[in-house]
Amino acid sequence: MRQKLLVGLVALLMSASRAWSAPPQAEITNGILNLRVYLPDAEKGFYRGTRFDWAGVVADLRYAGRSYYGPWFSRTDPNIKDFVYDGSDIVAGPCSAITGPVEEFAPALGFDEAKSGGHFIKIGVGVLLKPDDEKYGAFRMYQLVDGGRRTVKRGQGFIEFRQEVEDPSSGYGYIYTKTLRLTKGQPEMVIEHTLKNIGRLPIRGNTYNHNFLVLENESPGPAYTITLPFNATIEEGKNKDLIEAHSNQIVFLKTLHGKDRVFTGIEGFGTTSADYNVRIEDKNVRAGLVISGDHPLSKMALWSIRSVLAAEPFIDFSIDSGSEASWKIRYEYYTF
């Protein structure tokens, strides 16, 4: 009897271990930066929401003893829409529970045209089912009909994700390739994108990177400075006690805590890619990064709570059937 109980206990522990096993992930390095990335997986993936691109979700990046990314939430709950505060916990819903530099594409292709039970597409996710006639909701979980054909290639200092999705019923289709590349001999990561339209309808919209920065888990506050190449203006009314814009800088007036929340659009940028350049620096941690893109900004936002700071640069795209678009985002990490 005792032996049976021991065998049963071991089996239970093994089962629990399998249930709690880490999601699929990969690590790459250039000897200076160490990058850990979650892999797309419809059954076991870290992120299986229907808002953000599944490819290249950064779990952590380390440079010079500093960690730049990680979870900004304490736990997840499928019943939560975006996120909520529960005592000292931050609880995220399935469409928001993601980490690091991650991208979202908008609009959801074909959603407005689809009838209930019809298909629409979210780039980076796949073909989704429209359940009713309500408006599209980014925080709403939709049923995944077809995640397309995905491949992952990894080499010295890079990892490449490829997804091919085609849905004749909606008229949309694409081949999306995303590569995270660590520059040889430098503390730099470049995210390279190519989006090819293989459907019969044009693909038009925008994409942005949410850039969930969790630098050494320090709460955003007066030690942080955001520097831009242009004189920035922000929506001061709802953020007046939390942040201010001074010429080309945005500064925090206090350390965020409790339910403090910063959300503002940022204006003042021009029509060239030179203004897609965001420097974020933390004087306490004595580290920072520069985020730059090779396309002009179409929009920019800043979102922050006590656990994370997110600068969100947007770019527009317009891709006719048979054509493709490419763009890059460069991340330069430094200490001082």
If you average pLDDT over every residue of the chain, what do you get? Answer: 94
Percent of the chain with pLDDT over 70: 94
Q: Give pLDDT, residue 20.
A: 54
> What domain range includes position 249?
219-335
97 vs 48: CA distance, rounded Å: 9
Residue 11 has pLDDT above 70, yes or no: no
CA triplet 15, 18, 24: central angle to 5 degrees? 170
In the block, tokens 């004749």 appear at 168
Q: What is the pLDDT of residues 98-139, one digit of tens each?
A: 999 999 999 999 999 999 999 999 999 999 999 988 899 999
Tell whether 313 is covered by a domain: yes
Over range 194-208, report the average pLDDT.
Answer: 98
Over range 175-199, report the average pLDDT.
Answer: 98
Tell whether 75 is covered by a domain: no
H or E stretch at 312: strand 308-319
- Count up the domains in the chain and report the number: 1
8 vs 223: which has the higher pLDDT? 223
Tell whether 61 is covered by a domain: no
Measured between alpha carbons, how far is residue 222 from residues 243, 254, 264 in Å?
Answer: 9, 6, 18
Q: DSSP assignment of 152-166, as one string?
A: EEEETTEEEEEEEEE
pLDDT band of 179, cuts 50, 70, 90:
very high
pTM of the shown model: 0.92
Tell whether 127 is covered by a domain: no
Tell whether 105 is covered by a domain: no
Tell whether 178 is covered by a domain: no
Tell whether 307 is covered by a domain: yes
98 vs 51: CA distance, rounded Å: 10
61 vs 331: CA distance, rounded Å: 11
Residue 1 has pLDDT above 60, yes or no: no
Tell whether 23 is covered by a domain: no
